[in-house]
Structure 1
Amino acid sequence: MYILLAGLSHKTAEVELREKIALSGKSLDRVYQEMKYIPSFEGVVILSTCNRTEFYVSVRDIELGANDLRQYLAEKLELDNEVLDSTIYNLNCYGAISHLFRVASGLDSMILGESQILGQVREAYSKAKEQEASNGVLNTLFQKAISVGKRVRTETELDRNAVSISYAAVDKAKQVFGNLSGRTVLVIGAGKMSELALSYLIDNGVSSVIVSNRSYDRAACLADRLGGQAIKFEQLPKEIIRADIVISCTAANHYVLRKDSLLPHLRQRNTPMLLIDIAVPRDIDPALADVPGIHLLDIDDLQNVVESNLINRKKAALQAEKIIVEEIDEFNDWMATLYVVPVVKALKQRAADIRDAELKRALNRMGDISPREEQIISSLASSIVNQLVHFPIISLKEKAATNQCHLYAEVAKNLFDLEVESEEYQYAKNKDWNTG
């Protein structure tokens, strides 16, 4: 048995293809019901997000399984050979494990270190269990991947530094005000950048939202979506004093907020105000930075923050890679025990069978003996057998963590003439965990 991975992501496919192959709801249920009954597939977990769709499959025959997986993608998902060859990546064993651990840690994301993917990995695993499509090995793999993702985020700063303009704006707001709960934000402009920054601020506790735009209807539409209030553009100078945070991103070719028009109104405030200008050309008069209590940031200020944070994330990513290598080794150690555990069980059973057979023969030859005498003889037989197999079992367990565990398991199997045909043993026997 092997673990296979076939998938595509933002690194290999344009958004049109990612949209075509993305699975959710009924389409995801349908694919699970089809794939889990493919004879060569022992287990299936599907990870599908806006940036990737990946199929993790456990199979006993790697060639048959890989062919069946390719055929399924070609026929059921209508992917031609050119797409399969140019955009689908195929990994197995070590490569598949390493890839999943990197994905769960945010190292393979469009935004390095983003944390949403960990929840998506967890949801994919839960969905596979709900569909009764996964199996023991894939369950352990995904549990481990989730654990690795948590560890990376706990022990490194991979997701603690903003690497987008909108997130950087939120970080700066936190630096100025600390807790954003109870704060009011005024957004000027109703475009995507404005909405994104506003959404992040709401997620971080901002409780009151005001939206203004030259088109009042667009302002009202955005305000309705985010539970805020729309104001007319000409009301800005008077209404601005209500805001603690102002984000401006319009397409104007002149300053939307000028010092001379705002100063009389700003003098009515005695608390700090953060002005964030993410427009090019700038919306906010730079002279406003000279007004007491005003903190002004423009796109260059935020970009500098982003670049600095990206450097920090890349440093954290190096730490994360080391953690992943450690965790892969630990997972491989667990995989290696699949050689040994069934052999140990078979050895114990073999010893017990011999003990029982010989004990029965001896008791029959002894004739009438008391229950106490029978118990003494039975205990003696068990003690002798247990001591005889004790050291071979200890040795096998010690070898389980080495890269030659399969050799020791095979020797023990042949030496003691053991019948070991469990799924776990056959799975491990066919593995080469250092190939990708």
Structure 2
Amino acid sequence: MPLLVVGLSHKTAPLEIREQLAFEPYQWQEVAEKLDQYSELQEKVLLSTTNRVEVYARVKEVEQGRERIVQFLSDYHGVPERAFRSYLYHFVEGEAIRHLFRVASSLDSMVVGEPQILGQVQEAYNRAKAHGMVGNVLGALFEKSFSVAKRVHTETQIAENAVSISFAAVELAKKIFVDLHHCTAMLIGTGEMAELAAQHLLHHGVRTLLICSRPFERAVAVAERLDGDAIQYDHLFTYLETADIVLGSMPTRHPVLTRAAVQEVIRRRRYRPMFFIDMAAPRNIDPSVNAISNVYLYDVDDLQNVVNTNIRQRQQEAAIAEELVNREAVAFQRWLNSLDVAPTIVSLQQKAESIRQQELSQLLDHLPTLSEQEREAIEAFSIAMVDKLLSTPIMNLRKGVKAPEGNKLLQAVRQLFDLNERWHRPIRIGSRGSSLALRQTEWVQRQLASLFPHITFEKLIIKTSGDVIRDVPLPTVGDKGFFVKEIEEAL
């Protein structure tokens, strides 16, 4: 049963399309009920974030499964298929495995190396699992994707360097002050980029945040959002000497902080280091302040150069991560193939045996004068011939599924010998009739049905001596087969 992923992302669809097909957390119960209506999707996980909407599934048939997922997205959101079909992509089997590993590892993210996507994938998996939509195969696939993602982030430096201007400012601050927990930051102006940098600084331990702006009401509004302290613009230089980190983002034609002003502030601080981040255009801080001892000034261009260098480093690390993902995807595909090879071999043997019996019966009907010994000899010959005919193909099939594209060999064999129908002979699972035994047996039956959907499994209740004889104390019985003898005989 093939693995399939159908979806769209920031790479294939504009935001207005992604918004129309996105799912909110409060909708998950309804989503689960809706997905359960599509019998073609045996297992399914829905991943919905700002940048992507994807459905991962095990399907009976790829084309039919893909159309059902498209239908689901269209029906649930009330969006015509023609409005989004051209933005969709789909991956099957090995490519679907590799895609999930890349997504979880943030190799397919808008910002390569960002950590949020792994948590979002885990949340999507946990929701699907809680609603009973995940079986052994998708369960193993997603659990493996988490370990692959963790390896990518621990064995490479893909997330080590900032790739946004606001976060680059934080990285530079940490290099100057090492520990930000004792630092005070000041925001001059209320520009969006500087405010985002201030949020990052707070997240990384900055103790106090001062906001100075004109008009004062803007400073108050930002201070309320960031849990900082608003100060009047007229008091800027009174508080400036308390600030270790200063972010400038005020719209002005002339520098707010001149070299002379900063020289006086650093003197009052007894030359304790100050880090200035000028995110304004025109600039808020006189560039010559960088010549002052223990004063460090970066403007937007400086920060962008840092970001560009970091992006190149991440790209180098991403190439290493891609190799790791590819190796893990091939290994998982081999494991998946190994699940299908046993039932495929048994199906092939069963079909050959059915044909042998049918042809042998017709032959013997036309030879009524044969003795019993001759009939047995002919039957033995037919059995040996079928066994020898199948021996080499089965051996090669077992070896072939270990190749990276072994699933194609399995599909070819099943198609060539028309083995895609369900077994007409069920596999029976014997169990005692107690509540505990039945519950355990039902659990085993569900796991087997998930792994081998083309096989029918039946539960067979067997009464044992222990179930029938209830008036004899167990210590006096002495027979270890008291509860299992009849089950062993049934086997």
Aligned AA for 1:278? M
Match of 2:296 in 1: 295
Aligned AA for 1:211? I
Match of 1:241 in 2: 241
**1:41 to 1:407, Cα distance in 2 relative to 1, 3 A:** closer
- Tell me the alpha carbon deviations over residues 14-45 of structure 1, each in whole angstroms, 9 at most, x when there is no partner: 22222222212222331122102322111111
- Tell me the alpha carbon deviations over residues 151-177 of structure 1, each in whole angstroms, 9 at most, x when there is no partner: 111111111111111111011001101
Task: Name the CA distance, whole Å, in 1 between partners of 2:256 and 2:4.
Answer: 56
Q: How far 1:4 moved relative to its partner? A: 1.9
Q: 418-427 or 215-224: which moved more?
A: 418-427
Match of 1:330 in 2: 331
Q: Secondary structure at the match of 2:182?
A: coil
**Contact 1:343/1:418, CA 8 A, preserved across alignment:** no
Match of 2:306 in 1: 305
Q: How far 1:425 moved relative to its partner? A: 4.1
RMSD: 3.2
- Tell me the alpha carbon deviations over residues 93-135 of structure 1, each in whole angstroms, 9 at most, x when there is no partner: 2222221111111111111221111111111111111122222
Q: How far 1:83 moved relative to its partner? A: 2.5
Match of 2:66 in 1: 66
Task: Name the CA distance, whole Å, in 1 between partners of 2:106 and 2:52.
Answer: 13
Match of 1:104 in 2: 104
**Contact 1:101/1:148, CA 8 A, preserved across alignment:** yes
Q: How far 1:407 moved relative to its partner? A: 9.3
Question: What is the TM-score normalised by the length of structure 1?
Answer: 0.80
Q: Secondary structure at the match of 1:242?
A: coil
Q: How far 1:59 moved relative to its partner? A: 1.3
Aligned AA for 2:306? V
Q: 258-267 or 17-26: which moved more?
A: 258-267
Q: How far 1:400 moved relative to its partner? A: 5.5
Match of 1:223 in 2: 223
Count of paired positions: 385
Q: How far 1:209 moved relative to its partner? A: 0.8
Aligned AA for 2:56? Y
**Contact 1:188/1:246, CA 8 A, preserved across alignment:** yes
**Contact 2:223/2:229, CA 8 A, preserved across alignment:** yes
Match of 1:210 in 2: 210
Q: Secondary structure at the match of 1:211?
A: strand
Q: Secondary structure at the match of 1:181?
A: helix
Aligned AA for 2:58? S
| Greater RCO (Cα-Cα under 8 Å, separation 6 or more) | 1
Matches within 5 A, 1:78-157: 78-157=78-157
- Tell me the alpha carbon deviations over residues 389-431 of structure 1, each in whole angstroms, 9 at most, x when there is no partner: xxxx9999776534388499989xx9xx996876434579xxx
Match of 2:354 in 1: none
Match of 1:38 in 2: 38
**Contact 2:9/2:52, CA 8 A, preserved across alignment:** yes
Match of 2:276 in 1: 275
Task: Name the CA distance, whole Å, in 2 between partners of 1:395 and 1:69.
Answer: 36
Say whether 1:255 aligns with 2:255.
Answer: yes
**1:399 to 1:110, Cα distance in 2 relative to 1, 3 A:** closer
Task: Name the CA distance, whole Å, in 1 between partners of 2:189 and 2:9.
Answer: 33
**Contact 1:4/1:92, CA 8 A, preserved across alignment:** yes
Identity %: 38
Aligned AA for 1:251? P
Aligned AA for 1:250? M
Q: Secondary structure at the match of 2:268?
A: coil
- Tell me the alpha carbon deviations over residues 282-340 of structure 1, each in whole angstroms, 9 at most, x when there is no partner: 11111211222211111121111111111111111111110111011111111011024
Q: Which has the larger radius of gyration?
A: 2
- Tell me the alpha carbon deviations over residues 183-204 of structure 1, each in whole angstroms, 9 at most, x when there is no partner: 1111112222112101111111
Say whether 1:7 aligns with 2:7.
Answer: yes
**Contact 1:36/1:43, CA 8 A, preserved across alignment:** no
Match of 1:200 in 2: 200
Unaligned runs of 5+ in 2: 348-393, 428-447, 456-491
Q: How far 1:264 moved relative to its partner? A: 2.6
**Contact 1:174/1:180, CA 8 A, preserved across alignment:** yes
**Contact 1:47/1:54, CA 8 A, preserved across alignment:** yes
**Contact 1:340/1:400, CA 8 A, preserved across alignment:** yes
Task: Name the CA distance, whole Å, in 1 between partners of 2:340 and 2:303.
Answer: 55
**Contact 2:163/2:308, CA 8 A, preserved across alignment:** yes
Aligned AA for 1:321? E
Aligned AA for 1:306? V
Match of 2:180 in 1: 180
**Contact 1:3/1:92, CA 8 A, preserved across alignment:** yes
Task: Name the CA distance, whole Å, in 2 between partners of 1:336 and 1:195.
Answer: 52
- Tell me the alpha carbon deviations over residues 43-76 of structure 1, each in whole angstroms, 9 at most, x when there is no partner: 1111111111111122112232222212222222
- Tell me the alpha carbon deviations over residues 326-358 of structure 1, each in whole angstroms, 9 at most, x when there is no partner: 011111111011024557999xxxxxxxxxxxx
